[in-house]
Amino acid sequence: MGELQSRSHLASLLLLLGVLPPFGAEQIQFKPGWNVFSPKDDIQLGQQAAAQNDRQLALIDDVGVLTYVSSLGGRLAAVAPNNEGYSFTFRVVNSPDINACALPGGFIYVNRATIESAQDEAQLAGVIAHEEGHVVMRHATQRATELLLHRLGFGVLEGLLGQNLGARLTEMGVNFLFGSTLLKYSPDEETQADAVGTYMLYRAGYDPRAMTQFFAIIRQKYPQQTTEYFLDHPAPERRMEKVEAEIPQLGPPLANPKTDSTEFRLTKDRLLHMPLPPKPEPAQQ
């Protein structure tokens, strides 16, 4: 900690002197876990799952909303660590629940209620950066790796390396549809996605504290933690404290962090005036 602090003081000094770019976070390393899938597999599996998921969801096709969310997500993806060429693609779901979800390979779904509940662009950026964190740390295919290992054993799995392991998952009836176990992360994976997301906020010029501000909004809205968001992203112990503790290690505080934008305000306003999808008809007896 002492060393980190003095490094951070040195970085502040160099920054003042104009020697360093404002990226003190460069030295922080994030390493994805053991994975039998390749990053290309992640993209392919994500594409297949996105096609299936899209059929089940009410998606918003408003060009203005999509352009804004894609541009914000793209700016964050540009500073993501371990980006193996993932095809970051963004969808906005017409749902009144606060949630966001990522498929392997970079397919990110943000519910409209998430955008409507964010108080500024930085908070929305925090949610998207967290999802991109799951993508670059490859949490979904890491879960699939663990499942294959558990079902097949190491010997068999080793013999299958380089083959179409996605087909194996399909044979086992396992997929990346929303709600499936592969997309319900562990508290440790949540901590990691928070850490990567906080780092990305900082590198993209946002106040990294926006991440905890948005968690506070979700906690306030769903005190029982029974909503989908917590099923997909179970809150780790001391979540806020862990994020707060990471911030000083990122580098010198940004002199003028971005918080909001006119585009965010316009998009939020546009969504607030958009109708929710009709409730499905009750099934006939």
Phi, psi dihedral angles at 101 (to 5 degrees): -150, 150
Tell the smallest beta-carbon distance from residue 237 to Zn ion (Å).
Answer: 15
Residues that bind Zn ion (CB under 5 A): 190, 193, 233
Tell the smallest beta-carbon distance from residue 8 to Zn ion (Å).
Answer: 27
Tell the smallest beta-carbon distance from residue 177 to Zn ion (Å).
Answer: 17
Name which of 89 and 192 has its Cβ closer to Zn ion. Answer: 192
| Amino acid identity for residue 127 in this structure | V
Name which of 11 and 114 has its Cβ closer to Zn ion. Answer: 114
* Sequence-distant (≥ 6) Cβ neighbours of residue 181 within 8 angstroms: 143, 147, 174
What is each CA distance from 144 to 57, 129, 197, 211, in whole angstroms? 23, 22, 22, 28
Q: Kindly report the length of the chain.
A: 285
Sign, CA torsion 62/117/72/28: negative
- Longest alpha-carbon distance in the chain: 75
CB-nearest residue to Zn ion:
233
Name which of 124 and 193 has its Cβ closer to Zn ion. Answer: 193
| Amino acid identity for residue 148 in this structure | L
Name which of 168 and 233 has its Cβ closer to Zn ion. Answer: 233
CA 58 to chain centre: 20
Tell the smallest beta-carbon distance from residue 143 to Zn ion (Å).
Answer: 12
Query: Rounded to an integer, what distance in angstroms lies between the CA atom of residue 127 and that of residue 213?
Result: 10
Name which of 106 and 252 has its Cβ closer to Zn ion. Answer: 106
Task: Give the containing element (helix H, strand E) for 32.
Answer: none
Name which of 200 and 254 has its Cβ closer to Zn ion. Answer: 200
Name which of 134 and 209 has its Cβ closer to Zn ion. Answer: 134
Query: Rounded to an integer, what distance in angstroms lies between the CA atom of residue 137 and that of residue 140?
Result: 9
Query: Rounded to an integer, what distance in angstroms lies between the CA atom of residue 164 and that of residue 156?
Result: 14
Tell the smallest beta-carbon distance from residue 193 to Zn ion (Å).
Answer: 5
Tell the smallest beta-carbon distance from residue 156 to Zn ion (Å).
Answer: 31
Tell the smallest beta-carbon distance from residue 16 to Zn ion (Å).
Answer: 36
Q: Give the 3-state secondary structure of residue 271.
A: helix
